[in-house]
Structure 1
Amino acid sequence: MTRSVDALLTMMLDSGAWLGRRIEAAESLLAYEAPPEHVEAAKAFLTAVFDDPDQDEEFRMKALKLVRKAEARRVVSSTTSGKMDERPHRELNRRMLRAKRRLALMEAGLWPPPKGWDADIANAEPPRGAIVDLSNMAERMEAARLRIIKK
């Protein structure tokens, strides 16, 4: 802990100081890295300010905004920033494209397929934002297979 953090904490807790200056000290404690107990003390102080109906509206609003900002920052910092591994999705997309092509070739009476029937699919990228409907996939594939067998 540095002397500046100690000074800000002392200013914030000084009940004889002007409230605006105390709120500024609390804001500085929240805006920059500080020990967790100091951050909690600043939030508790600001909460006491905005909870007090006898305080000036400007001070209450500033305190409320600062506490809200500190709360929102905590939510943002807990989210993950890593990228999702898209390889399984790409492979699923390729398998789906092959299955659709296979069904189309079977329905057209071109099965067994000609050589290279899926060459363009090997490097196919799924469209951005595409959603593959996996619900009832087995039933739909079986129904398609039965349609082809009946022909």
Structure 2
Amino acid sequence: MTVLAVDVANVVGSRPDGWWRDRAGAAGRLLDRLAALPGAVLPGPDGGPLTCTGVLAVVEGAARGVPAPEGIELVRAPAGGDDALVAAVGGLAAPALVVTADRGLRARLPAGSAVTGPGWLLAELDRRDGMTAGGGG
């Protein structure tokens, strides 16, 4: 049972799909996709099953005003998103899997925090989107 703690800006910025033209819109689209994950059993980054009990997503800057989809715990960082994510993960009662490629952020997380890169999350979201589009999920 794991909470996904997502560095939204880092995940959005990992794909050069034009996100920079509408940062808030890109963050909102990612949050909408993340809303399908709580309660799902996912193939974890290590290949084993991962039960997603919740999603905590940190937004910052232009994305602070995006609406929070149902089922997402949205943290609106008043300043740096990294500071907000470190604090949020430190306050969780459940184990977390932090999704970020930011090495500086990774080094600041509480000891023992599990971390994976945006590629794992985006591949899982793409797989789930394909299942939905194909009628398989």
Q: With the length of structure 1 as denominator, give the TM-score of the two structures.
A: 0.23
As a proportion of its length, which structure holds more helix?
Answer: 1
As a proportion of its length, which structure holds more strand?
Answer: 2
- Using CA pairs under 8 Å that are at least 6 residues apart, name the structure with larger relative contact order, 1 or 2: 2
Q: With the length of structure 2 as denominator, give the TM-score of the two structures.
A: 0.25
Structure with the greater alpha carbon radius of gyration: 1
